[in-house]
Amino acid sequence: MATITAAMVKELRELTGAGMMDCKKALNETDGDKEKAIEFLREKGLAAIAKKANRIAAEGLVATVLSEDHKVGAIVEVNSETDFVAKNAEFQAYVARVAAQALATSAATIEEFMAEAWIDDASLTVEQALSQKIAVIGEKLSIRRFEKITTDGVLTTYIHGGGKIGVIVELATDSTAEAVLECGKNVAMQIAALKPEYTDRTEVSAEYIEHEKSILLAQIQNDPKESQKPEKVIEGMISGRINKMLKDICLVDQVYVKAEDGKQTVGKYVEAVGKEVGTKVAVKGFVRFETGEGMEKKEENFAEEVAKQMAGN
């Protein structure tokens, strides 16, 4: 019996796009024969076309789902290679099932999630079901990330651009009144549009603030005019700029985009809704996923591709 090494499993995964455990099983079943292992995976519907494994999947969809009582929510990002596939009904239905899987999951990591039994067929893992879907759709697909939230408050969601951006907002409240749910959706829309980094200032570390202050101080010192100002004035300038920055990156301090006076903050808006329904309402947290954020996207040059093909012929 051949010894199956991690390098052999890795190579087979790169060739087929199948899951690590499936590759290991295939090699064990075929006594380490790579070609037979590929055939084994193909027969099981677990191997994608070899070249797919090296492609960039940076398109796709974000999906959200909530429990009926708005106490549990999940958000997932599933990537495809092209926007065309992202608009495909079969792919959209699959992403919805991945979101349902995330709502029910007990996994803490994406690795644990991929190893779970698939929601629609317990004989498959999530990773195996993904491999089968790749074979059907014909593109590299990837379940990039998920997050599950459980609260004693209320969760609301918003999907923008047909799945390009997804948001879940957690409200600290005991009310599920229509006005509260509408408030949560409005806040989620704000998050989708303005992309805050924090819920409020308590989440911003002292180290982050000090780092920003040092950068601002260096900018002032490098300016011939501003560097000549008194120390107290410079301190005031830095404090003012830090405060302005925090208003931009902290959700509750942002100006609410639907504010009639153009001044009301998100925090004050949510507070006002609470007064309207006779209970306290506050933003406790949020999750925002944007499809492909932070990923390298392959830039296609059609003319270049045609030229290469003509040269090859």
- Cα end-to-end span (Å), the chain: 46
Model pLDDT, residue 49 = 45
Cα–Cα distance, 200 to 289 (Å, whole number): 19
Phi and psi, residue 241, nearest 5°:
-70, -35
Q: What is the pLDDT along the chain (313 residues), one digit of tens a residue?
A: 788 998 898 888 877 777 788 888 999 999 999 888 887 887 676 665 444 455 556 789 999 999 999 999 999 999 998 889 989 999 999 999 999 999 999 999 999 999 999 999 999 999 999 999 998 888 889 999 999 999 999 999 999 999 999 999 999 999 999 999 999 999 999 999 999 999 999 999 999 999 889 889 888 988 888 888 998 999 999 999 999 999 999 999 999 999 888 889 999 999 999 999 999 999 999 999 999 887 655 444 445 544 554 455 4
CA 302, CA 309: separation in Å to the nearest integer? 11
Q: Can you give the pLDDT at residue 302?
A: 44
Which one of 3.40.50.970, 3.10.110.10, 3.40.710.10, 3.30.479.20 gives the CATH number of domain 56-150? 3.30.479.20
**CATH ID of 6-54, from 3.60.150.10, 1.10.8.10, 1.20.140.10, 3.40.30.10:** 1.10.8.10
Q: Report the pLDDT value the prediction gives residue 310, as an integer from 0 to 100.
A: 46
In terms of Cα–Cα distance, which of 161, 198, 178 is closest to 287? 198
Domain ranges of the chain: 6-54, 56-150
Burial 236-253 (b: 16+ CB within 10 A, else e): ebbeebeeeebeebbbbb
Please tell me the distance from the alpha carbon of residue 13 to that of residue 33, in angstroms, as a whole number: 14
- pTM for the model: 0.75
> What is the enclosing helix (H) or strand (E) of 200?
none
Q: What is the dihedral of CA 155, 119, 48, 17, to 10 degrees?
A: 60
